[in-house]
Amino acid sequence: MSTMRGALAAITIAIGLVGCSASGSTTPGPSGCPTAAPTADQAATITADAARAVVTTSLGTFSMELYPQAAPIATANFAALARCGFYDGITFHRVLAGFVAQAGDPQTRTNRGDFAGLGSGGPGYHFAIEPPADGYGYDAYVVAMANAARPDTNGSQFFIDLADLNNGLDRTYTIFAKVVDGTDVVDAIGSVTVSDPSTGVPVVPVIIQSIVIQPGA
């Protein structure tokens, strides 16, 4: 294992790139949000008009191309949560410069700082990891689901690669999107001051104000 891979692996273990674990806490989402992951049939319906996600944050707006063909369940789950407002008001609670920016813990909607259990919140359900499809890698600006490297621990949390991590991550994180516009905003998020470089909690919260799912052209 190279020095870079070893260092990134240590960081990955330290913060887990973890979504909600089986024993993690949950925070109810807005009324009308999903209470279970979509089935394959439901995913096909949800993603039929979900090609792009426009993410507005307190630091600006960026757009992501969604990959329903590569990760139908994860993409549909993300789109459904975005459409019901689940992500509105949630922060990027882990920002590790040159590594990842992670968001999706609903507990951060009301607690902006570092706290016990930060990063353990989710939508109240889990679903299986969809291994990255052939031809998809952890390139800079790729968006993947956070999980505990177990087969049933995807939920609502996701991370954006701040660099090429193909040599630093095991292929156990579902790739479901990539930032295609507004990469400068992602770079700004990745450069915020954090309270501790090992945990990456931003001093000034980076808040997701809205995520709008758009159809294809």
Question: What are the structural domains of the chain?
Answer: 3-22+39-214 (2.40.100.10)
Task: Report pLDDT digits (tens) over 5-48.
Answer: 444 544 554 445 665 444 445 565 687 899 999 999 999 999 99
pLDDT at site 2? 37
Q: Is the pLDDT of residue 198 over 70?
A: yes
Mean pLDDT confidence for 148-174: 91
Question: Mean pLDDT across the chain, nearest whole number?
Answer: 89
pTM of the model: 0.90
Task: Report pLDDT digits (tens) over 38-51.
Answer: 999 999 999 999 99
Mean pLDDT confidence for 115-122: 94
Give the residue, 10 or 204, on which the prediction is more confident: 204
> HEC profile for the chain?
CCHHHHHHHHHHHHHCCCCCCCCCCCCCCCCCCCCCCCCHHHHHHHHCCCCEEEEEECCEEEEEEECCCCCHHHHHHHHHHHHCCCCCCCEEEEEECCCEEEECCHHHHCCCCCCCCCCCCCCCCCECCCCCCCCCCCCCCEEEECCCCCCCCECCCEEEECCCCCCCCCCCCCEEEEEEECHHHHHHHHCCCECCCCCCCECCCCEEEEEEEECCC
